[in-house]
Structure 1
Amino acid sequence: MAVAQRRPVLALFVAGTVLCLLPCPGFVGSPAGRLSSSRVVARVGADYQERQSPRDADLPFDAAAATGDTVDVSFKKRPFGILRYTPGSGGKGAMVQEVIGKSRYPGDPQGQGFAAGVKGGWVVKTINGQDVQTEDFNMVMDLLDDEVADPRFSKSVALALEKQGGRKAQPAEAPIAITYATIPGYEWKGEVLGADWEPAHR
């Protein structure tokens, strides 16, 4: 009687998620369907700047100088629709650089920033009442937990997180109340993403 041969199963364990590279019938409830999208929430701030590289138009800023007008925004869920943040001098604070330029449907989470009028050049001042204006950039990013990254970065994210020694902070609970502040006299020169913006164009 012939004995059926078992085929080896190769799986990646990334941030507590099983990602099968070959069919994995033995894993009940495999998240493969959720990972079919080309972009998934990375959930870490480690090595953020390596993944979201700076642009020529990014101008240096001092987050502590954000003493101008403030705007309060509440985000019901992640992601917020803010594509990129940059750190201030000394790696402190976080400034919004790119916001998705449309809301595709009512309640679109990735249209929240656009619907709330969030603009490039705004500095994150508080998150759920916690002053983060001059905190470490990676800490601010971990609190926001707002990155939508290509899943191909999963391995590098895990390595960067390990090298960093873990998260700088646990993600803030939703709904997330964020106060943004402007820098008097600062002239932001970044890109305003229009309604025709698509990820494939970048």
Structure 2
Amino acid sequence: MARPVLLPVVGVVAAIYAASVAFVGAPQGAPRVSRVPARVSAEYLERLGPKDSDVPFDAGQATGPGASVEFKKRPSGILRYQPGQGGKGAMAMEIIPKSRYPGDPQGQAFASGVQSGWVVASINGQNMLTEDFGKIMDLLDDEVADPRFSKSTALALEKQGGRLAEPAAAPLAVQFNSIPGYVYKGAEMKEDGQDGFAR
């Protein structure tokens, strides 16, 4: 009489084991295949990647008026930077358009008057107009603008040999310059009740 009950129990146990292998991983001894994506997501590229509206620029031409700002904390509120020609220099592209409360780190750029289309001329007194874009991003270490250090892109960072510079000590004194005649054609940021800010 125990035999008919035993068969369904064995079937259930076998089904659970098969399901656990399928959902948890391969059996021991099987070769492991990495499923970590080597590239950034489509959502990241949409938010922070190059845009059709980006106008190529030469950072060496950033000789116009701008602003000297002090970022006391990170992130500064600049959501995206664009590299200049030859990968040199960095231009602020999308800036959170308000400060939500006194001392809001993500409102620092807006409160300091930084404008989209301005180029990072110096960080803590060090000239940035001829530096590699990656080095400038490493010095700024702005988590909103530079998520290259997330797990999904760690492999790409490892391939380039790691950081190009250690993050600059806060507070950061950043000089932004404008390019005479440059017209910013990117989207203006708008507040979105669900996601914060969007184009």
TM-score, normalising length: structure 2: 0.71
% of aligned pairs identical?
64
2:81 touches 2:145 (CA, 8 Å); kept in 1? no
Pair 1:87 & 2:83 matched:
yes
Pair 1:131 & 2:122 matched:
no
How many residues were matched structurally? 155
Residue of 72, 78, 103 corresponding to 1:76 = 72
What corresponds to 2:107 in structure 1? 111
1:63 touches 1:134 (CA, 8 Å); kept in 2? yes
1:81 touches 1:114 (CA, 8 Å); kept in 2? yes
Q: Which structure has more helix as a fraction of its residues?
A: 2
> 1:101, CA displacement in angstroms?
1.0
When Rg is computed on C-alpha atoms for both structures, the one with the higher figure is 2
> 1-side partners of 2:198 and 2:177: how far apart?
30
> 1:188, CA displacement in angstroms?
1.2
Residue of 138, 143, 164 corresponding to 2:139 = 143
Residue of 154, 157, 162 corresponding to 1:158 = 154
Once the two structures are superposed, residues 16-59 of structure 1 have per-residue CA deviations (whole angstroms, 9 ceiling, x without a partner) of xxxxxxxxxxxxxxxxxxxxxxxxxxxxxxx8x96721112111
* Distance change >3 Å, CA 74–CA 150, structure 1 → 2: closer
> 1:156, CA displacement in angstroms?
2.6
* Distance change >3 Å, CA 153–CA 69, structure 1 → 2: closer
> 1:86, CA displacement in angstroms?
0.5
> 1-side partners of 2:188 and 2:144: how far apart?
18
SS in 1 for 2:69: strand
Pair 1:190 & 2:191 matched:
no
Q: Which runs of 5+ in 2 are unaligned?
A: 1-39
Q: Which runs of 5+ in 1 are unaligned?
A: 1-46
> 1:201, CA displacement in angstroms?
4.6
> 1:121, CA displacement in angstroms?
0.4
Matches within 5 A, 1:9-28: none
